[in-house]
Amino acid sequence: MKLTIIGAGNVGATTAHIAALTGVARQIVLVDIVEGIPQGKALDIYESLPIMGRDCRVIGTNAYAETANSDIVVITAGVPRKPGMSRDDLLTTNAGIVKTCAEQSFAHSPNAFYIVVSNPLDVMTYLTLKVTGLPRTRVVGMAGILDTARFRTFIATELGVSVEDVSAFVLGGHGDSMVPLVRYTTVAGVPITQFLSPERIEALIQRTRDGGAEIVAYLKTGSAYYAPAAAVVQMIDAVVYDRKRILPCAVALEGEYGLSNVVCGVPVKLGRAGVEEILELELSEEERNALHRSAADVRRTIERLEELLHQKTAA
Ligand code: APR
């Protein structure tokens, strides 16, 4: 299994580190535009492996030739948020970066499975689909697992129970209008409504929506990366080991949930073939409306992206 990670910043390098430690890849190639950064971080990770008892080749490079024939490509290149910024504020800068990275990596690894992490996530996934021309089964965005992990963390802390017993689902775009599904959120199979008041549930949902911003406010110079990287590795693991995991991921919708021409977070089955199935949960009218509102937010940003690309072509 050859894994390429584009962007050797916080998310990219941490993904490489966790992937090497968990043994999901035999070879990891870390790519960045800045000379020395991917080489230095890759060598450092590689040198940690004899101590950790793992055997995986990790290299850093500025050239895509070394990524050739990767099985999985993770795109994390781009700028992170600063306090006060929304993910959509990153659109102009990150669209140019992600377009180049997707073009270059696809030229060398046309058969890879692509995971997009750069923000605004849903729109960057849409862009990668467009640039590569790959089917939607092979290009997905990482967001739902992260948002769900945040929701699970807050619930487990509030109730003083193991996070392993908390199961949750967060749908929609990776933004302020994401849709945590209370009805499908359980503690050891029991709906959380039996443990928490509607007010407390609402407070935890709001904290989940603001989960990324909460970390940006602390860090001031960057955004979250440990939890995002762990989420990416869970997706890689599902594909590499053909686990058929049901995980919330950002995928292009073609009629599911009454939505088309948009990338949005929904539960999918991830296995060797990539997205092997898109699960259509039964939603209440209120949940469905919330999902449609979230998708409409993503679609507006996709329209801005199309304008940007059009301006670039015209110029
Ligand atoms: N090609 C390759 N790498 C690039 C390019 C490019 N064209 N442009 C920028 N990069 C690299 C930067 O040099 C940097 O090393 O992308 C890396 C980004 O790293 P960080 O600034 O640490 O950002 P990070 O926290 O990793 O977030 C990356 O993921 O979660 C999202 O919102 C976040 O969009 C951001 C992305």
Of ligand 1's atoms, which has the minimum distance to the CA of residue 81? 32
Distance spanning both ends of the chain, measured CA to CA: 41
Cα–Cα distance, 64 to 116 (Å, whole number): 17
Quick one: pLDDT at residue 152?
A: 97
Burial label, 158 (beta-carbon count in 10 A; 0-12, 13-18, 19+): middle
Quick one: pLDDT at residue 203?
A: 97
Catalytic residues, which ones? 174
Kindly list the distances between the CA atom of residue 194 and the CA atoms of 154, 186, 275, in Å, as whole numbers in the listed order: 16, 9, 34
Cβ count within 10 A of residue 194: 8
Cβ count within 10 A of residue 213: 18
Mean pLDDT (the chain, rounded) = 96
**8 Å CB contact between 90 and 119:** yes
CA dihedral 184, 188, 193, 195 (to 10 degrees): -160
Quick one: pLDDT at residue 313?
A: 77
Q: Encode pLDDT of 137-178 as tens digits.
A: 999 999 999 999 999 999 999 999 999 999 998 999 888 889
Quick one: pLDDT at residue 69?
A: 98
Burial label, 177 (beta-carbon count in 10 A; 0-12, 13-18, 19+): middle
Q: Encode pLDDT of 255-304 as tens digits.
A: 999 999 999 999 999 999 999 999 999 999 999 999 999 999 999 999 99
| CA 138 to ligand 1 centroid distance, Å | 22
Q: Which of 6, 18, 32 to mutate to test the pocket of ligand 1 (most atoms within 8 A of CB)?
A: 32
Q: Encode pLDDT of 215-251 as tens digits.
A: 999 999 999 999 999 999 999 999 999 999 999 999 9
> 292 φ, ψ to 5°?
-65, -35
| CA 220 to ligand 1 centroid distance, Å | 16
Q: Which of 33, 87, 99, 117 to mutate to test the pocket of ligand 1 (most atoms within 8 A of CB)?
A: 33
**8 Å CB contact between 110 and 149:** no
Of ligand 1's atoms, which has the minimum distance to the CA of residue 222? 25
| CA 68 to ligand 1 centroid distance, Å | 21
Quick one: pLDDT at residue 82?
A: 86
In the chain, what are the domains? 2-141 (3.40.50.720), 144-303 (3.90.110.10)
**The pairing of beta strand 260-271 with beta strand 274-278:** antiparallel
3-class secondary-structure state, position 8: coil
Q: Encode pLDDT of 76-108 as tens digits.
A: 999 988 898 888 889 999 999 999 999 999 999
3-class secondary-structure state, position 269: strand
Residue nearest to atom 30 of ligand 1 (CA): 118
Q: How confident is the model at residue 310 (pLDDT cuts 50, 70, 90)?
A: confident
Kindly list the distances between the CA atom of residue 98 and the CA atoms of 16, 63, 129, 243, in Å, as whole numbers in the listed order: 19, 16, 11, 29
| CA 293 to ligand 1 centroid distance, Å | 29
Global model pTM greater than 0.85:
yes
| CA 142 to ligand 1 centroid distance, Å | 15
Residue nearest to atom 20 of ligand 1 (CA): 9
Q: How confident is the model at residue 1 (pLDDT cuts 50, 70, 90)?
A: very high
For the sheet containing 186-187, what is the strand order? 166-167, 186-187, 190-191
User: From start to end of the chain, where are the E strands?
Assistant: 2-6, 27-31, 57-61, 72-75, 113-116, 139-141, 166-167, 170-171, 179-180, 186-187, 190-191, 245-254, 260-271, 274-278
Ligand 1: residues whose CB is within 6 Å?
Answer: 6-12, 31-34, 37, 76-81, 90, 94, 97, 100-101, 117-119, 222-223, 225, 228
**8 Å CB contact between 196 and 159:** yes
Task: Please report, rounded to a whole number, the percentage of residues in the chain having pLDDT higher than 90.
Answer: 92
Cα–Cα distance, 285 to 298 (Å, whole number): 20
Quick one: pLDDT at residue 85?
A: 87
Residue nearest to atom 25 of ligand 1 (CA): 10
| CA 198 to ligand 1 centroid distance, Å | 38
Q: Which of 223, 226, 301 to mutate to test the pocket of ligand 1 (most atoms within 8 A of CB)?
A: 223
Quick one: pLDDT at residue 314?
A: 78
- Average of pLDDT values for 124-139? 98
Residue nearest to atom 15 of ligand 1 (CA): 9
